[in-house]
A and B are shown apart, each in its own frame.
Chain A
Amino acid sequence: MTNIILETKDLTKTYGKSKAVDAVNITAYEGEVFGFLGPNGAGKTTTLGMALGLVHPTTGEVSVLGERVTPNHTHALKQVGALLGAPAFVPYLSAWDNIELVSRLTPGVDKKRINEVIDLVGLTDSAKRKVGKFSTGMKQRVGLAMALVHRPRFVILDEPTNGLDPAGMREIRQLLRTLAENGTSVLLSSHLLNEVQQVCDRIAVLNRGRVVAQGRVEDLLNGQKPSVRLTVPDTGTAVRAFESLSGVENIQASGNTLIVTGVTSQTVMNHLLEHHIIPTEITAQKSDLESLFMDLTTTN
């Protein structure tokens, strides 16, 4: 049986009257790359903050590597590497010094390992420069190195490719897969849905503090409703026409473009012709994470 690496039970965080995280239940298993998705303000970073002992849950609990974590009980985090949002570092120290300082919290990390991880994230030529003067992408690499230097069992990465160029992003994707292949569990929180789809085994989608979907990426995509994108001369007439079409669950309008969810392109085409509306363009939407994400996180 696969071990649970991260589990939250009805995890809730309230700030004043607003619920940033609302009864979140997620489970990530050992050896997998788990994607954590949600629009800005969905509560991802707060949830991760609670998992990393930085934020006190209002109610509920979070366990990492089978051990409950609270800000005053963080023993399990010794085996965790984390990069939460913009990387935190001591700005007047060099990249090497920052990584070396963090590595001191784990016995057995030697200079060889520090140099190894610096090579791994592509910082070899800049390791002795002060981090405060680094570009966003280079700071991100320092953050990654600090998260990985002690060979953690579980890595939590919040937007790890922020500020990286496309080649850098590809390197990180490859790195995440390599980590998973070597037995390291990874939780990846990202806005880049394509990146998540390429890398993650399972995902959880958070919206307004609540988990709105969780499972294997393929399973979630297979369960997705069909949707059609079309361009029409007059969206008002077309929207009125679709009101009488059974099966339509959602219509999003933007300029002359409509996205109709719940029906196939054939049905849409037939219906439009019945109403003497000729679309200039019509495309069946490919079932991908982006459209799933939009379905789950946007309202009419």
Chain B
Amino acid sequence: MFLHLLTIETRKLFKNPILWADLGILTIIFAAYFTVRYAIIAEAVRNGLGNTRGLELDLQVGLGLFGNFSVLFYAATAAIISADDYPDRSIQMWLTRGAPRALLLLTRVVIILVIGLFLTIFIIGMILALAMLMRTAFLGGFTAQNLNWVQLLPATLRIFAASIPYLALTVLLGVVSRSPLFAAGGTLVFATVVEKLLEGWSDNYPALIQFIPSHLSQLLLFNNYAIDRTARPMILGGAYLHESQVFITIGFFLLVFSALSLVIFSRQDLGG
């Protein structure tokens, strides 16, 4: 049954026009950004100015740009998977055919994690591809000698892991609200308002505040400096969580939010 549900959910997702619209919009934003960026760099180079470093910088700049709206992007994707079939009652298609609720939710969490990882890979691939294309178009070629390809895998995993608390929160909000819009919007409000308010307490409770998802994300992404061979390790002041502790905390968020989602989902009346 799990594999059947996995196939069903995957097929639904890949045929969902909202997913492709999301990816299309993201590609357009990056293409526009890199076009402007390299037009400016090319002009600077013609004037004997400008930094013509290679893909390692492009990747860091691209990931920095993605960081501005990554929560929205991940939350929108998770909301589609976890709550899209509440408003039109298509969730009944599976439940009235004997699909166990716990298994359906587990399938969705698994799909969200797999798709989250896939999308992270897509983002990194797209940034690199656009950077190569634009550098060739505007500067006549590109260099990748300072890009540490080996570090790309752990960097990808860190970016993905940083998104997990938000993905799991979106699932919970999707189940509670039965609305993909509320699920994505609620996660966005959490990231942009609630977390900022919590960060305001960081002076009083520094040890506690480092466990909130935005701080976990920062702690993980500090280590992505290593994709640039020339970069030196960043030294963080104060006592911070070790990377392994960050991963455990993220796992804890995933577990708690998923368990809460399951409790609520299994108690819901879904007849109307």
Please say whether chains A and B are actual partners in one complex: yes
Once bound together, how far apart are the Cα atoms of A86 and B95, in whole Å? Answer: 16
* Residue B239 lies at the interface, judged by CB distance under 8 Å to chain A: no
* Residue B267 lies at the interface, judged by CB distance under 8 Å to chain A: yes
Contact B89 A88 (CB under 8 A): yes
A-B contact pairs, 29 of them (CB 8 A): A50-B271, A52-B92, A52-B95, A52-B271, A54-B92, A54-B96, A55-B271, A74-B99, A76-B98, A80-B96, A80-B97, A82-B97, A84-B96, A84-B271, A86-B89, A88-B91, A90-B12, A90-B15, A91-B88, A91-B90, A93-B15, A98-B93, A101-B11, A101-B12, A102-B97, A104-B4, A104-B7, A105-B1, A150-B97
Kindly provide the distance from the CB of B191 to the nearest chain A CB, expressed in whole angstroms.
Answer: 28
List B contacts of A101 (CB < 8 A).
8, 11-12, 93
List B contacts of A84 (CB < 8 A).
92, 96, 271
Contact B271 A77 (CB under 8 A): no
* Residue A170 lies at the interface, judged by CB distance under 8 Å to chain B: no
Closest residue of chain A to B3 (Cβ to Cβ) is: A104
List B contacts of A82 (CB < 8 A).
96-97
* Residue B201 lies at the interface, judged by CB distance under 8 Å to chain A: no
Contact A46 B96 (CB under 8 A): no
List A contacts of B17 (CB < 8 A).
92
Contact B15 A71 (CB under 8 A): no
Contact B12 A93 (CB under 8 A): yes
* Residue A216 lies at the interface, judged by CB distance under 8 Å to chain B: no
Once bound together, how far apart are the Cα atoms of A88 and B90, in whole Å? Answer: 5
How would residues 257 to 269 of chain B score, 1 for a CB under 8 Å from any chain A CB and 0 otherwise? 0000000001111
List A contacts of B100 (CB < 8 A).
72, 74
Given contacts A75-B98, A97-B15, contact A105 B4 (CB under 8 A): yes
* Residue A38 lies at the interface, judged by CB distance under 8 Å to chain B: no
User: Contact partner of A72 among B88, B94, B266, CB < 8 A?
Assistant: B266
Kindly provide the distance from the CB of B84 to the nearest chain A CB, expressed in whole angstroms.
Answer: 9
Once bound together, how far apart are the Cα atoms of A230 and B67, in whole Å? Answer: 79
How would residues 70 to 101 of chain B score, 1 for a CB under 8 Å from any chain A CB and 0 otherwise? 00000000000000010011111111111111
Once bound together, how far apart are the Cα atoms of A35 and B98, in whole Å? Answer: 23
* Residue A53 lies at the interface, judged by CB distance under 8 Å to chain B: yes
Once bound together, how far apart are the Cα atoms of A86 and B271, in whole Å? Answer: 11
Contact B98 A88 (CB under 8 A): no
* Residue B143 lies at the interface, judged by CB distance under 8 Å to chain A: no
Contact A52 B90 (CB under 8 A): no
Kindly provide the distance from the CB of A83 to the nearest chain B CB, expressed in whole angstroms.
Answer: 9
Kindly provide the distance from the CB of B169 to the nearest chain A CB, expressed in whole angstroms.
Answer: 24
Once bound together, how far apart are the Cα atoms of A80 and B99, in whole Å? Answer: 12
* Residue B16 lies at the interface, judged by CB distance under 8 Å to chain A: yes
Closest residue of chain B to A48 (Cβ to Cβ) is: B271
Given contacts A74-B95, A74-B98, A104-B4, contact A55 B11 (CB under 8 A): no
- What secondary structure prevails in chain B residues at the interface with A? loop
Once bound together, how far apart are the Cα atoms of A146 and B15, in whole Å? Answer: 19
Contact B271 A45 (CB under 8 A): yes
How would residues 198 to 217 of chain B score, 1 for a CB under 8 Å from any chain A CB and 0 otherwise? 00000000000000000000
List B contacts of A89 (CB < 8 A).
88, 90, 93
* Residue B270 lies at the interface, judged by CB distance under 8 Å to chain A: yes
| Most A-side CB within 10 Å, residue of B8, B17, B267 | B8
Contact A88 B101 (CB under 8 A): no
Closest residue of chain B to A100 (Cβ to Cβ) is: B11
Kindly provide the distance from the CB of B87 to the nearest chain A CB, expressed in whole angstroms.
Answer: 10
* Residue A78 lies at the interface, judged by CB distance under 8 Å to chain B: yes
List A contacts of B98 (CB < 8 A).
53, 74-78, 80, 105
Kindly provide the distance from the CB of A99 to the nearest chain B CB, expressed in whole angstroms.
Answer: 10
Closest residue of chain B to A132 (Cβ to Cβ) is: B88
| Most B-side CB within 10 Å, residue of A45, A91, A104 | A104
Closest residue of chain A to B267 (Cβ to Cβ) is: A56
Once bound together, how far apart are the Cα atoms of A52 and B96, in whole Å? Answer: 5
List A contacts of B12 (CB < 8 A).
90, 93, 101
User: Contact partner of A49 among B4, B5, B93, B269, CB < 8 A?
Assistant: B269
List A contacts of B97 (CB < 8 A).
77-78, 80, 82, 102, 105-106, 150
Given contacts A76-B98, A105-B98, contact A88 B266 (CB under 8 A): no
How would residues 198 to 219 of chain A score, 1 for a CB under 8 Å from any chain B CB and 0 otherwise? 0000000000000000000000
Closest residue of chain A to B4 (Cβ to Cβ) is: A104
Kindly provide the distance from the CB of A13 to the nearest chain B CB, expressed in whole angstroms.
Answer: 8
Contact B271 A72 (CB under 8 A): no
User: Contact partner of A54 among B8, B11, B267, B270, CB < 8 A?
Assistant: B270
Interface of chain B residues 16 through 63 with chain A (CB within 8 A): 16-17
List B contacts of A71 (CB < 8 A).
95, 101, 266, 268-270
List B contacts of A80 (CB < 8 A).
96-98
List B contacts of A53 (CB < 8 A).
95-96, 98
Contact B96 A92 (CB under 8 A): no
How would residues 157 to 168 of chain A score, 1 for a CB under 8 Å from any chain B CB and 0 otherwise? 000000000000
Kindly provide the distance from the CB of B125 to the nearest chain A CB, expressed in whole angstroms.
Answer: 26
Kindly provide the distance from the CB of B76 to the nearest chain A CB, expressed in whole angstroms.
Answer: 16
Closest residue of chain B to A82 (Cβ to Cβ) is: B96
Once bound together, how far apart are the Cα atoms of A104 and B2, in whole Å? Answer: 11
Kindly provide the distance from the CB of A16 to the nearest chain B CB, expressed in whole angstroms.
Answer: 13
